[in-house]
């Protein structure tokens, strides 16, 4: 028997056990409903944990791929060839980092408000 066929037979037997519509005893009915709710909760927590682990691993791998230079690391001299000078790379890096930080804070705030949490 394949794993898919085995899991579907387990699911069908679990569904038969969890069919509380024909049960008339309120205590037994409540036990079945609680079992269903607990299973659903465990599945939800497991899925959430997997998503968090996956996101953390992705973030860890992404953090090691590229690091933008610090504004202080960039040569402060002006580029030759242009009579009026050139754009300051230090200024560009500072501005980019500020925008990135603002974007990150906005997305964290949005995620917290979507999840019903508080940003404070």
- Express each pLDDT in 39-52 by its tens digit: 999 999 999 999 99
Mean of the pLDDT values across residues 56-76?
78
CB atoms within 10 A of CB 14: 13
**Cα separation, 22 vs 2, whole angstroms:** 32
Task: State the pLDDT confidence band at 104, using cuts at 50, 70 and 90.
Answer: confident
Predicted pLDDT at 3: 47
What is the pLDDT confidence band of residue 7, given thresholds at 50, 70 and 90?
low
Whole-angstrom distance, CA of residue 120 vs CA of residue 98: 21
Q: Once rounded to an integer, what is the mean pLDDT over residues 86-93?
A: 76
This prediction's pTM:
0.43
Check pLDDT > 70 for residue 21: yes
């Amino acid at each position: 028997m394949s794993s898919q066929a085995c899991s579907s037979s387990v699911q069908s037997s679990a569904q038969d056990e969890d069919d509380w519509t024909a049960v008339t005893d309120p205590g037994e009915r409540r036990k079945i409903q609680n079992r269903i709710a607990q299973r659903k909760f465990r599945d939800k927590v497991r899925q959430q944990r997997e998503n968090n682990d996956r996101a953390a691993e992705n973030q860890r791998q992404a953090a090691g791929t590229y690091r933008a230079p610090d504004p202080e690391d960039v040569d402060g001299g002006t580029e030759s060839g242009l009579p009026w000078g050139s754009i300051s790379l230090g200024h560009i890096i500072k501005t980019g980092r500020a925008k990135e930080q603002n974007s990150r804070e906005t997305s964290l705030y949005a995620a917290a408000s979507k999840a019903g949490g508080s940003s404070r």
